[in-house]
Amino acid sequence: MTDVRMKVWRGDATGGAFVDFTVPADEGMVVLDVVHRIQATHAPDLAVRWNCKAGKCGSCSAEINGHPKLMCMTRMNEFAPDEHITISPVKTFPVVKDLVTDVSFNYEKAKTVPPFKPKPKDPDGKRRMYQEDVERVQEFHKCIECFLCQDVCHVIRDHEENKQSFSGPRFFVRLAALEMHPLDANDRVELIRAKHGLGFCNITKCCTEVCPEDIHITDNAIIPLKERVVDDFYDPVRWFLRKLSGKKRS
Amino acid sequence: MECTLYRLLTDDGAVSGAFGYWRGSGKLVLFRAKAIVLATGGVGKAWKITSNSWEYTGDGFAMALDAGADLIDMEMTQFHPTGMVWPTSVRGILVTEGVRGDGGTLKNNKGERFMFRYVPDFFRAETADTEQEADRWYEDKRNNRRTPDLLPRDEVARAINTEVKAGRGSPHGGVFLDIATRRSSDYIKRRLPSMYHQFMELADVDITTTAMEVGPTLHYIMGGVRVDADSAQSTVPGLFAAGEVAGGMHGSNRLGGNSLSDLLVFGRRAGLYAAEYAKRVARMPRVDDRQVETAATGMLAPFERPEGENPYAVHADLADTMHELVGIIRTRAELEEALTRIGRLRERAQRVGVKGSRVYNPGWHLALDLLTMLTVSEAVAMSALMRQESRGGHTRDDFPKPDPVWGKKNVVARRREGRLILTPEPLPELPSELRPLIGEDKPTGKIVLEPVAAASAKE
């Protein structure tokens, strides 16, 4: 057992500071294990949200040495033995206490996404999908809602005022999953442009970099959605036809 | 939105509400209700090695018991045979049965596929007895019998336990689960992407080239709140239960995948019948202020003792106790010792102290969870002591065989005047329309095997 030095941010909505802890770490430990050891031996009231400890529930998101990561999937042997490791709460959301933040922004945004609406069945009463269409949306279903992509996205990380009009990468993944679903009949393209604020994204790919499920958020979700918005909304021919017919977007 | 309930409130024996706290603010909250559905899962956190999340603290069982409901067969605990064993920080995390379903096989440190030596008579007729037949079964299920790697979980967990005790285990106290030498890398990555990911990220093990190390992990409690099979209502009017917290659905041994169908069917039923019940009850039940005050005092008591005992230490000792003495193989002496230790831990739990504020305070949460875990642990150990036979998830070294007399009984636990009372009670009669579908409970297996074999041939 070797000792590890941790700097853990402690505080609440009114403010806080990093507190030093030195605890023994065993072979194979992840950062979350060390946080638990700090709780058990030094600070029983240290707040941390966690659940499955296997990278599946998306609860233990934090910033480790400034990088948005899941604490349960960050192994201590990634760091140099004498490294001073900092852990702070995700910055995009308001702090409740210590490492726990209020992520209800995401639940409010989720309510504004129109759900799946199945297309009518084929004449023989069945529904059919091509395997390649299934595979395309499968990637998006891997999302564990850890909100690390939301944390790293500079549109909302550094600009509280954008939260009203921008939903963030997590919801572009969700919207892409629905929009590209071969059996879905809802059209969300105008909504994606106007309400979810897709135009704010300037494809810096930070979200893709931090995704623990390796979803290609920018390439496979955001850019195809941008193409749909452009096709539908900014295509000059379609724009002109709309003017002529006086019809709103279909 | 994160809320933990601590007590159910009753009015003249029927449910009247629930009392608990919001994790975020630490504020106490009272819900008035005519009907309540428990869907709180199990109690894995009372054991040291578990696949369950930290929230599996048995609060549903304990709240139901305290509200006057019956628990049945709490001794029926399922150890999933394949949890991760290394590194210690991931110990217990589930390795899906799908690994074996897709061709993985269990081996000891001599490279033997040891499960062939552990086929009980009950399953012999439907289980392959050569490695060749077992391997053919993956391709042709009609003309071959199932691999013993996929025997029920209790059989596999005990077999692993025996292999490890005999010194044939893996370096970290499990056995090997090998799919690397049996399936192509592409196949493994396509069929088992999350297992590939889990071992790669958490253990630095590439399962397409290296065998996994696995061992038993507490996974599920078959016992639970006694409910009516149709309405999911407990013995307390207005209290319903669905999923793992409800007892009886899976007998002594749940089969893989059955929990999902259980919660889909009985979750819906519990909701429907709870709504129907609530409509039928004309008057909103009265909330008894004394019950609320007692609960509030109990919840806040640990703050009165900031220098009290560390809840994490008491929890660690409880987990050790349950692991050592109420594990896969049980004996009378060990269960009695467990009850003595649980008694001492309860005294310590009464002295547990909490520092800091009520805002998102995990030390406080654990101090309260400890009480429910202790209640349920006591019920499990007492039930295990009472059932003098081995059946499904309950194995008594001193009573190694199933006993047909016990096979017709539930072990019922109730709280009366503060004490936990246990009684064996006869199983409900099987409805006549189901009787032709289910064989007699005969350990020789002759009658039960025919319909099973016929059913599997249809797959």
pLDDT per residue as tens digits for the range B288-318: 999 999 999 999 999 999 999 999 999 999 9
Q: How far apart are CA A130 and CA B58, in angstroms?
A: 45
Residue B84 has pLDDT above 90, yes or no: yes
Among the listed residues B317, B416, B428, the one whose alpha carbon sits nearest the alpha carbon of residue B374: B317
From chain A, the residues in CB contact with B198 under 8 A are 54-55
Is B261 part of the contact surface with chain A (CB cutoff 8 Å)? no
Of A28, A46, A104, the CB nearest to B87: A28
Q: Which CATH class is domain B3-76+222-424?
A: alpha beta
For residues A124, A129, A130 and A131, what is the CA-based torsion angle, rounded to 10 degrees? -130
pLDDT digits (tens, 9 = 90+) for A208-245: 999 999 999 999 999 999 999 998 878 888 778 777 87
pLDDT digits (tens, 9 = 90+) for B311-348: 999 999 999 999 999 999 999 999 999 999 999 999 99
Is B307 part of the contact surface with chain A (CB cutoff 8 Å)? no
Q: Which helix (H) or strand (E) holds A21?
A: strand A15-25
Which pLDDT belongs to residue A181?
95
Every domain of chain A with CATH number 1.10.1060.10 lies at 104-245
Q: Cβ atoms within 10 A of the Cβ of B117, count? A: 12
Tell me if residue B80 is catalytic: yes
Alpha carbon separation from A14 to A94, A103, B401 (Å, rounded) = 10, 17, 63
pLDDT digits (tens, 9 = 90+) for B51-68: 998 899 999 999 999 999
Interface test with A, best of B96, B190, B201, B305 (most A CBs within 10 A): B201
Assign domain A2-101 to its CATH superfamily.
Beta-grasp domain (3.10.20.30)
Question: Which two three-digit tokens encode residue B321?
Answer: 């106790």
CB contact under 8 A, A45 and B88: no
pLDDT digits (tens, 9 = 90+) for A48-57: 999 988 888 9
- How many Cβ pairs closer than 8 A exist between chain A and B? 84
From chain A, the residues in CB contact with B356 under 8 A are 44-45
DSSP 3-state percent helix, strand, coil across chain B (nearest 5): 40, 20, 40
CB contact under 8 A, B356 and A57: no
pLDDT digits (tens, 9 = 90+) for B239-251: 999 999 999 999 9
Taking domain A104-245, whether its CATH number is 3.40.47.10 is answered by no
Which pLDDT belongs to residue A248?
56
Q: How far apart are CA B277 and CA A48, in angstroms?
A: 39
Is B382 part of the contact surface with chain A (CB cutoff 8 Å)? no
Q: How far apart are CA B205 and CA B221, in angstroms?
A: 30
Q: Which helix (H) or strand (E) holds B19?
A: strand B14-22
CB contact under 8 A, B53 and A52: yes
| Cβ atoms B61, B43 nearer than 8 A | yes
| Cβ atoms B222, B392 nearer than 8 A | yes
Residue B439 has pLDDT above 80, yes or no: no
Residue B457 has pLDDT above 80, yes or no: no
* pLDDT (mean) for B79-90: 90
From chain B, the residues in CB contact with A73 under 8 A are 201-202
Q: Which CATH class is domain B80-217?
A: alpha beta
CB contact under 8 A, A97 and B359: yes
DSSP A130-174: -HHHHHHHHGGGG-----HHHHH-HHHHS-GGGGGT---HHHHHH
Longest CA pairwise span in chain B (Å): 69
* pLDDT (mean) for B369-375: 97
Of B55, B198, B356, the CB nearest to A54: B198
CB contact under 8 A, A54 and B93: yes
Which pLDDT belongs to residue B365?
97
Every domain of chain B with CATH number 3.90.700.10 lies at 80-217
Interface test with B, best of A4, A32, A45 (most B CBs within 10 A): A45
Residue B453 Cα, gap to closest chain A Cα (Å): 32
Of A44, A48, A53, the CB nearest to B93: A53
Residue A190 Cα, gap to closest chain B Cα (Å): 31
DSSP B219-269: EEES-EE---TTT-B-SSTTEEE-GGGB-STTTT-PPTTHHHHHHHHHHHH
Every domain of chain B with CATH number 3.50.50.60 lies at 3-76+222-424
Is pLDDT larger for residue A243 or for residue B254?
Answer: B254
**Helices B59-66, B362-386: inter-axial angle, 10-degree rounding:** 70
Q: Which pairs with CB-CB distance under 8 Å and at least 24 residues apart come from B247-250?
A: B247/B71, B247/B72, B247/B73, B247/B74, B247/B222, B247/B223, B248/B72, B248/B73, B248/B223, B248/B224, B248/B410, B249/B222, B250/B76, B250/B220, B250/B222
Query: How much is the ipTM here?
Result: 0.89
**Helices A31-41, B311-325: inter-axial angle, 10-degree rounding:** 110
pLDDT tier, B443 (very low <50, low <70, confident <90, very high otherwise):
very low
Non-local (6+) Cβ contacts of A234 within 8 A are none
pLDDT tier, B444 (very low <50, low <70, confident <90, very high otherwise):
very low
> Which amino acid, residue B83?
G
CB contact under 8 A, A47 and B355: no
Is B55 part of the contact surface with chain A (CB cutoff 8 Å)? yes
pLDDT digits (tens, 9 = 90+) for A170-208: 999 999 999 999 999 999 999 999 999 999 999 999 999
For residues B341, B345, B346 and B348, what is the CA-based torsion angle, rounded to 10 degrees? 140
* pLDDT (mean) for B184-209: 92
Residue A250 has pLDDT above 70, yes or no: no
From chain B, the residues in CB contact with A57 under 8 A are 53
Residue A7 Cα, gap to closest chain B Cα (Å): 19
First to last CA, chain A: 65
* Percentage of the residues of chain A whose pLDDT score is greater than 70: 98
Which pLDDT belongs to residue B89?
81
